[in-house]
Amino acid sequence: MSVGKDGDFALGERRRRSWTRDEKRRIIDESVQGGASIAEVARRHELNANLLFTWRRKMGVEPSQQPGPMPILPVTIAPGSVAEEHCPTAAGQMEIVLSEGDRILVWADVETAALSRVLKALSRR
C-alpha cells in the first residue's frame, strides 16, 4: 500500500508473475534431481514452495519415495573405550564404528548436514 497525495492509502497495483509451461517443467525437473530441496529450489526461483508442490502434482510428478525408517542398531560401550577426562583432545569427539569395522571420528563442530550425507552414503554400501 502507498499513501496518495491527499494522505489516503492507495492500493498499489499487485503484479502476479506468470510462468510458461516450459519454465514450470524446468523448475520441476530441478526439484526432482537427487538431493534437491524443494524449499531451496523455490527460493532460488523466487516462488512459494507450496506453488512448486502444486505444479508437481498437476504435472503428474510423484513425490520421491522415501525409504522406510532407518533401523535402530544396538549400541555397546566397550570398557576402556571412553575418553579419559585428562585428555583434552578427546573433548567433544565421537567415534562411530560401522558394522564392517570402519570407524568415523566426529568432532563437536561437524556440520549436521555433512555428517548426514556421509552416513547416508555409507549406509548404501
pLDDT per residue over 64-111, tens digit each?
Answer: 566 667 777 777 777 665 555 545 555 677 887 777 777 788 887 888
Residues 80 and 117 in one domain: yes
pTM above 0.85, yes or no: no
Provide, rounded to the nearest whole percent, the portion of the chain with pLDDT above 70. 70
Average pLDDT, stretch 24-31?
91
According to DSSP, the residues that pair with 3 across neighbouring strands are 9
Of 27, 79, 84, 80, the residue nearest 55 (C-alpha): 27
**Which structural domain range is residue 121 located in?**
74-125
Measured from the Cβ of residue 29, the count of other Cβ atoms closer than 10 Å reads 12
Residue 3 forms part of a structural domain:
no
What's the domain count of the chain? Answer: 2
Last residue of some domain: 45, 64, 83? 64
54 and 81 in one domain? Answer: no
